[in-house]
C-alpha cells in the first residue's frame, strides 16, 4: 500500500521538511517530558538527550516552561531515585 503523504513530501523543499519535523518535535516534546520526569528508568535520559540534540540543530530554540514539572524534594532523591531522573533542569 502506497503512503498517501508521499506525493506531498516529494514536492516539499528541504526547509519545509525540516520545519515540519521541528513542529512535530515541539508539539510532542512536552508530553515526553511529563511522562519521563521522575521516572526511574532510561526515559529521562532519552528525553534529556533528545532535547540537547535538538538544541544543537536549533541553538536559538527554547523549551517552553511547564509549571507542572517541579524539582524533587530531598526525600525523593535516594539510592533508587537519582537527581537525573527529574527533568526540571532542562528548561
Q: What is the pLDDT along the chain (91 residues), one digit of tens a residue?
A: 556 677 777 789 999 999 999 999 999 999 999 999 999 999 999 999 999 999 999 999 999 999 999 999 999 999 999 999 999 999 9
What is the pLDDT at residue 11? 86
Could you give the C-alpha distances from 19 to 16, 23, 66, 78, in angstroms and in order?
5, 6, 23, 41
As a whole number of angstroms, the distance between CA 24 and CA 29 comes to 8
Amino acid at each position: 500500500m502506497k503512503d498517501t503523504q508521499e506525493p506531498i513530501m516529494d514536492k516539499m523543499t528541504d526547509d519545509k521538511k525540516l520545519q515540519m519535523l521541528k513542529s512535530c518535535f515541539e508539539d510532542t516534546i512536552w508530553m515526553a517530558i511529563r511522562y519521563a520526569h521522575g521516572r526511574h528508568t532510561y526515559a529521562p535520559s532519552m528525553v534529556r538527550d533528545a532535547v540537547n540534540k535538538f538544541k544543537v540543530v536549533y541553538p536559538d530554540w527554547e523549551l517552553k516552561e511547564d509549571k507542572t514539572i517541579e524539582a524533587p524534594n530531598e526525600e525523593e532523591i535516594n539510592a533508587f531515585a537519582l537527581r537525573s531522573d527529574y527533568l526540571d533542569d532542562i528548561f
